[in-house]
Amino acid sequence: MEVLIPNRLSTLGHPHRLALFRLLMRRYPDRVPATELAQALGLKPNTLSTYVNALMQAGLVTQERVGTSLRYTVDLAVARETFEYLLRDCCRGRPEFCSPLTSFGFDGDSPMTDRKYNVLFICTGNSARSIFAESILRNEAGDRFVAYSAGTKPRSELNPFALEVLEQKGYDTAILKAKNVSEYQGEGAPEFDFVFTVCNQAANEECPAWSGQPISAHWGMPDPVKVEGSDAEKSLAFHQAYGALLNRIKAFAALPISSLDRIGLQRAVDGIAIGD
């Protein structure tokens, strides 16, 4: 392993390769098409290919062909092995280096406490998917979770098809509004236990690290706002998005959070996206 670690660190030492690795970490467990990676990072296809090949040679990224598309994801086992080597071998477990990170989940021996948890759902416009998620969690398990939502580029108004779905399901839509993610950052903001991105574009964007080291996961799903056609076809897309999020949030609310350590909890929330 000691022969491999310097190569991995050297590979990540290049700013564009590091940006690619970080994007794939944010998108995990997705397998992201090369075309989408190039677009998100503003890279030419041949340049992206050079960077991704270097990450693959270092073992940090894996490739899968789906039809004519090449898709990529992070090899979490290799990534963890690399960073654990830095903490436990190079830094010799010194608490001033390791304590904040081991509490984040490298050791994973401390369950989350049994209390009410703050959960933030993020998408780009905060007009449909993240609004659905906020409303569903508040309705399904408001006694155990405080639900929030926000957008990286929020729209001025909520999508009328999204509001129609929620009203048909009996939700109180008067309390809902689009919010910028910046409202939940900085002094006085809630400290979140969980942060979920529910659209690929939001996950692709660079965001500051959240205070309090929340569990984060990507629950990407198609954007119903982009569906074209008749009003009936558009309405169907919003109902499908609502149904998918309802299933995910029911699975999330059913997790035995207080009895899981952080590693187990991270695996569980990642698995919810995979298990659709």
| Per-residue model confidence (pLDDT) at position 253 | 96
Write out pLDDT tens, residues 197-241: 999 988 888 776 787 778 999 999 999 999 999 999 999 999 999
Residue 68's domain is classified under what CATH number?
Answer: 1.10.10.10
Do 126 and 217 belong together in one domain? yes
**Which tens digits make up the pLDDT trace of 41-65?**
999 999 999 999 999 999 999 999 9
Q: 188 and 70: one domain? A: no
Instruction: Using pLDDT thresholds of 50, 70 and 90, give the confidence band for residue 114.
Output: low
Same domain, 66 and 170: no
Domain contains 230: yes
96: left (phi over 0), alpha (psi -120 to 50) or beta: alpha
Q: How far apart are CA 137 and CA 78, in angstroms?
A: 34
Q: pLDDT by residue (tens digit) across 240-268? A: 999 999 999 999 999 999 888 888 999 99
Tell me, yes or no, whether 181 and 233 share the same domain: yes
Asked if residue 261 and residue 150 are part of one domain, the reply reads yes
Domain boundary among 20, 50, 76: 76
The mean pLDDT value of the chain amounts to 89
Please report, for the domain that includes residue 169, its CATH number.
3.40.50.2300
More reliable by pLDDT, 218 or 85: 218
Q: Which helix (H) or strand (E) holds 253?
A: helix 231-253
Contact (CB, 8 A) for 59 and 75: yes
- Asked if residue 31 has pLDDT above 90, the reply is yes
Q: Are 274 and 245 in contact (CB under 8 A)?
A: no
Residues 57 and 187 in one domain: no
Residue 130 sits in which domain range?
117-274
| Whether 175 and 256 share a structural domain | yes
95: in domain: no
If one counts the domains in the chain, the total is: 2
Nearest-10 crossing angle of helices 231-253, 262-274: 150
